[in-house]
Structure 1
């Protein structure tokens, strides 16, 4: 396990950072089959939930006994090898979809949707003879296999960016596009056996089906209801699945055609402006979760936009001023599995300060001439995930500045803001680790993002375009950024 202790360096010493740029090197490596491999290579993955671990190890579970072994037999093999696993809290409500396979009625509904979608444009999908593969689909989308893929999704992918409320998810009632998206994405993390591999043959068909449903949300319906939210969630998951593969042609389609549709749907539903009806201490569990799902979905889409700007030089499609909704609450509040547990977590949590509710406010605070220091009371409730979102927001601002010929006037303020970020990051990350938390994903390597942001700022100010990455043309390959990082992190251990 990589140590979470960080070493800081002066902003004038960007040529030789005092820590290995390990994670971003791996994440941008175009030779990897998928970018998710970087999380395992850099030990940036999360731990499975206790109740999922309990269910996997329970011999009475419908899944076969060696399922846990098979599920993580690939790059995530050390998930279940942790010798310091905490005891399972028997008071927690078990995850409902672990106890039994999906009903025959639901599996048939999925098969019917996929068949109908294929028949709308049979030549668009790479199936032999242009015919829908009935036998393959029937073998892939069985009740057991769907539940296995859903379980794999919530055990791995969900933990990086939870915006689906797992405890209240009912597989028998959830919108079918969302169930299909979870199944498709979960198949990537499930055991590499025939049934899971068969699911992966339906990625493109599932993508078309889900974005066709999204089209209805963004062009026909302006009603914010559970189904419209779930369809947007499905589209976001499908976007993540297809962008994960190092396939430039797929990425071009997703980046240029699919993501704008997601942004349009969120604007139509006004999700970027979502604020809680009441603070957690005053809200009931159902109302809080309903608001939190919207808040987290908007936050995820904005961060995805910023990531596309950083990694593929895609012009931002969402402005920072648009993200005026509340910041996400803690994962502990969101993942509370019952009203009683929610109340317990609320009792030990601090509410957000009114001035710190939105990412827009957070950006303004760091850009402002006035600065109360990294330990200011208004920053007390800011967590590592908020700071990662903030750093990606800075990347959006940096891109707009350098492509709009504004770097000369904005450079001092952006440099100052990112240096303030580093000071706060040291305090927040140390606090979370010392309290028993575990930084995962980008949060574990936040300082690498800080270094990269300042390096891009430095070269933009000098109008240095010797590397293709600094030429402002969108790309669908990570190679340009990978070469850029390799050059400026040269000599550091891998």
Structure 2
């Protein structure tokens, strides 16, 4: 993701972690999470804001990438001063005889691109770019980069089962273009970004997203989308749409990012609901069939990560969630090592079902007295803190008008003899439950960190950033200005960190 406006500023983060966090042993976070002290101003600049830069914000990526401005007209592909020779060097190690899947992918994207009104020069460039970027060798290289760089943070494809010779072309396109964003060859990344929009058009032209397909089924009197909940190819095409919109959101132009967030994600959520991904659970009938377990786990994980992105849109840009906590009735994802295995049933940590849904885990966090201790993974914690943040933010927005009218009071069992300060956030019953949930989440977080080795922790991708979400969530329920900040924040806010700056002001007391 493109860094928000506030990334150019340094804020004092000392109050964000609260007194108990300030006194914690910083080694608890481990080398894979935060080596800097959250009690120092530099923490916000060096650690927290890195989290907001998205998955391509590493050192090998050009920070002045013109393709993220969204303000370009049609122009050359290469950065200024770089050769436009797209031929493979003589020693190119990724060369191999072209496979049918590479030729088919080029032709499929071209066929969709030709439906866009473009002049002959533009068509010629698109053709040259696709023939450069989608060679067999490069596709394999990009697939490898996808699984090396992206899979640890968003594991929803079963690596041993992924074969470019057999997967649907939309999924192959999505994985290849996402992987291309991690290429160390700037030519490859620039060319991939240049034709990313056309890859998106191709992926979303599949039947699973097609209004024409829906009209055809209804007009013919058939049952709409019969058996779609078990159709593996259609599910993979849904995954393709999700992956390509992720690539667009973090690497596309401003227009493409907005389209991914506002339009494409809504299409993916619609299909996910229709396929009942939000209700995906491992059933007893699947116990004797490893391939069915793998397919169901892919559905569980895809639903979980769709929910994560839904909350992330809310977190980064104040875009309202399209899924609710209550409808996330899918299982919690399995252990990472089990899902990554070629034969999950043979893994020592294999457990057929977690026997706990995301909704149930979320509700358990909020209970005044925890109903049952939970065995949570880093991914579970990442999912739950996203849901908690979104729940808190939405609740604060709901509270706003009532606070301004003076119609909120504490519940009877929370009343005290001390007069309530007008500036403080009234503690309604929901807010009390939220505080319980955040406190309980933090206990689980440190317990998890203490039992995980540093090597395992370092391999956990984005999940290590969960505590950052906790810190911001804690701000929202403790800072007296939080309600006003949330109420004033517009939908699709481009600089949400700038808006949250007031909550970090040292001059404002908790």
Q: Which residue of 2 aligns with 1:418?
A: 438
Is the Cα contact below 8 Å between 2:60 and 2:184 reproduced in 1? no
Q: Residue 343 of structure 1: CA displacement?
A: 3.5
The match for 1:27 among 3, 26, 51 is 51
Aligned length: 410
Q: Which residue of 1 aligns with 2:488?
A: 471
CA distance in structure 1 between the aligned counterparts of 2:377 and 2:129, rounded to whole angstroms: 45
| Shift in alpha-carbon separation, 1:138–1:169, aligned structure 2, 3 A | same
Distance 1:437 1:187, change over 3 A: same
Cα pair distance change 1:162/1:39, threshold 3 Å: farther
Label 1:446 to 1:489 Cα distance change in 2 as closer, same or farther (>3 A).
farther
Q: 2: CA distance between counterparts of 1:482 and 1:210?
A: 35
Q: Write the distance in 2 (CA, Å) between the matches of 1:435 and 1:121.
A: 48
Q: Distance in 1 between matches of 2:251 and 2:480?
A: 30
Secondary structure of 2:210's partner? helix
2:363 aligned partner:
364
Residue 185 of structure 2 aligns to a residue in which SS?
coil
Kept in 2: contact 1:102–1:172 (CA 8 A):
no
Q: Distance in 2 between matches of 1:17 and 1:437?
A: 19
Q: CA deviation at 1:255?
A: 1.2
Is 1:400 paired with 2:394? yes
Instruction: Describe the shift of the 1:447–1:39 C-alpha distance in structure 2 as closer, same or farther (beyond 3 A).
Output: farther
CA distance in 1, matches of 2:282, 2:314: 29
- What is the Cα deviation at residue 64 of structure 1? 9.9
The aligned residue for residue 10 of structure 1 is 19
Alignment of 1:122-133 (within 5 A): 122-123=117-118, 128-129=121-122, 133=126
Maintained 8 Å contact 1:111/1:137: yes
Please report how far the alpha carbon of residue 484 of structure 1 lies from its aligned counterpart in structure 2 after TM superposition: 2.8
CA RMSD of aligned residues (A): 3.5
1:371 to partner: Cα distance: 2.4
TM superposition shift of 1:142: 1.1
In the TM superposition, 1:195-274 aligns within 5 A as 195=188, 197-213=190-206, 214-216=208-210, 219=214, 221-222=225-226, 223-224=228-229, 225-245=231-251, 247-274=253-280
Residue in 1 that maps onto 2:408: none
SS in 2 for 1:161: coil
TM-superposed deviation, 1:66: 9.3
Q: How does the TM-score come out when normalised to structure 2?
A: 0.72
Unaligned stretches of 5+ in structure 2?
A: 1-15, 24-36, 62-88, 218-224, 401-424
CA distance in structure 2 between the partners assigned to 1:210 and 1:296 by the alignment: 20
Query: Aligned-pair distance for 1:402?
Result: 1.8
For 1:36, the equivalent position in structure 2 comes to: 56
Give CA-to-partner distance per residue, 1:34-93, whole Å, 9 cap, x none: 65316999xxxxxxxxxxxxxxxxxxxxx99997xxxxxxxxxxxxxxxxxxxxxxxxxx
Does 2:107 correspond to 1:107? no
Which has the greater radius of gyration?
2
CA displacement at 1:226 relative to structure 2: 1.6
C-alpha distance in 2, partners of 1:470/1:150?
43
1:275 to 278, 281, 292: 281
Q: Which residue of 2 aligns with 1:93?
A: none
CA distance 1:446–1:66, change in 2 (3 Å): farther
**In 1, Cα distance between the equivalents of 2:500 and 2:269?**
29
Scaled by the length of structure 1, the TM-score of the pair is 0.74
